[in-house]
Structure 1
Amino acid sequence: MFKPNRERNRRNELIVKAIFGIFAFVSVLTTLGIVFTLIFETYEFFKEIPLIRFLTETRWTPLFPSAQFGIVVLLSGTFSTTLIALLVAVPLGLLSAICLSEYATPRARNLLKPALEVIAGVPSVVFGYFALLFVTPLLQSFIPGLQGFNTLSAGMVLGIAITPLVASLSEDAIFAVPSSMREGAYALGATKRETIVSVVLPAALSGIVASIVLAISRAVGETMIVAIAAGLTPNLTLNPLEPAQTMTSFIVQVSLGDTPTGSLAYKTIFAVGMTLFLLTLVLNIFSYWFVRRFQEKYE
Structure 2
Amino acid sequence: MVGVIFAAIVILTLVSFFVGRSAGNRFFASAGAEMHSLAGYHGAFVAIWVGVPALVLVLMWLLFQGTVIDGLLLASLPPSMTEGLEPGRVNLLLSEIKNAAAGMTFGEPSPEVTAAAETWLRWNAIAGWAMVVVALAVMLIGGFIAYQRLTPRFRARNNVELFVSGFMIFCSLIAIITTAGIIISLVTESMQFFAMVPAHEFFFGLNWEPQIPIREDQIAGSGAFGAVPVFVGTLVIAAIAMVVAVPVGVFTAIYLVEYANQRLRNIVKPIMEILAGIPTVVYGFFAVLTVAPAIRQAGSLMGIATSPNSALAAGGVMGIMIIPFISSLSDDALRAVPRALRDGSLAMGATRAETMIRVMLPAALPGIAGGILLALSRAIGETMIVVMAAGLIASITINPLDSVTTVTVQIVTLLIGDTAFDNPKTLAAFALGLVLFIVTLCLNVVALTIVRKYREQYE
Short-chain TM bin: over 0.9
Q: Deviations over 1:276-295 (max 9, x none)?
A: 01111111222133334455
CA shift digits 1:244-293 (9 cap, x unpaired)? 11000111112223433321111011000000011111112221333344
* Change beyond 3 A, Cα 1:234–1:66: same
Q: Note the alpha carbon deviations across 1:52-77, whole angstroms, 9 max, x for none.
A: 11122101111242211111111001
1:142 counterpart SS class: helix
Moved more, 255-264 or 41-50: 255-264
Query: For residue 21 of structure 2, what is the aligned residue in structure 1?
Result: none
1:133 paired to 2:281 = no
Report the Cα offset of residue 209 of structure 1.
0.4
**Aligned residue number for residue 44 of structure 2:** none
Q: Deviations over 1:189-226 (max 9, x none)?
A: 10000000000111111110011001100000001111
Deviations 1:85-143 (A, max 9, x none): 00000000001111111111122212211110101111111111211221122122322
- Is 1:203 matched with 2:363? yes
* 1:78 aligns with one of 228, 234, 244: 234
One-letter amino acid of the structure 2 residue matched with residue 221 of structure 1? G
The 5 Å alignment of 1:30-45 reads: 30-45=178-193
Aligned residue in 1 for 2:136: none
Aligned pair count?
299
Partner of 2:94: none
- Which of 252, 255, 259 does residue 415 from structure 2 map onto? 255
TM-score, structure 1 normalization: 0.96
Match of 1:102 in 2: 258
Aligned to 1:2: 35
Structure 2: stretches of 5+ with no match in the other structure: 1-33, 37-151, 213-220
* CA positional deviation for 1:297: 2.5
Among 382, 397, 401, which residue is 1:237 paired with?
Answer: 397
* Structure 1 Cα separation of the partners of residues 243 and 455 of structure 2: 25
Range that drifts further, 288-297 or 265-274? 288-297
Residues 204 and 296 of structure 1 are in contact (CA less than 8 Å); yes or no, is this contact kept in structure 2?
Answer: no
CA distance in 2, matches of 1:131, 1:239: 18
| Change over 3 Å in CA distance of 1:28–1:104 after alignment to 2 | same
* Deviation by residue 1:158-217 (Cα, 9 ceiling, x = unmatched): 100111100011111111212211110011110000000000111111110011001100
Q: Pairwise CA RMSD of aligned residues?
A: 1.5
One-letter amino acid matched to 1:142: A
Q: How much does 1:6 deviate?
A: 6.0
Q: What 5-or-longer segments of structure 1 have no aligned partner?
A: none
- Paired-residue identity, %: 42
Once residues 235 and 193 of structure 2 are traced to their aligned partners in structure 1, the CA distance between those partners, rounded to angstroms, is 24
Matched, 1:219 2:375: no
Alpha carbons of 1:9 and 1:81: their partners in 2 closer, same or farther (altered >3 Å)? Answer: same
Amino acid at match of 2:367: G
Is the CA contact (8 Å cut-off) linking 2:367 and 2:454 kept in structure 1? no
**Off by >6 Å, runs of 4+ in structure 1:** none
Report the residue type matching 2:279 in the other structure: P
Contact 1:226–1:246 (Cα < 8 Å) also in 2: yes
AA partner of residue 207 (structure 2): R
Whether 2:203 is the aligned partner of 1:55: answer yes
Matched letter for residue 128 of structure 1: G
More deviation in 198-207 or 260-269? 260-269
The residue identity in structure 2 corresponding to 1:86 is: M
Aligned partners of 2:367 and 2:450 also within 8 Å? no
2:209 match: secondary structure? coil
Question: Shift of the alpha carbon at 1:33?
Answer: 0.5
Distance, in Å, in 2 between the alignment partners of 1:31 and 1:55 is 25
Residue correspondence of structure 1 range 123-162 to structure 2 within 5 A: 123-143=279-299, 144-162=304-322
1:266 and 1:200 map into 2 onto residues whose CA distance is: 50
**In structure 1, which of residues 155, 162, 179 is the aligned counterpart of residue 339 of structure 2?**
179
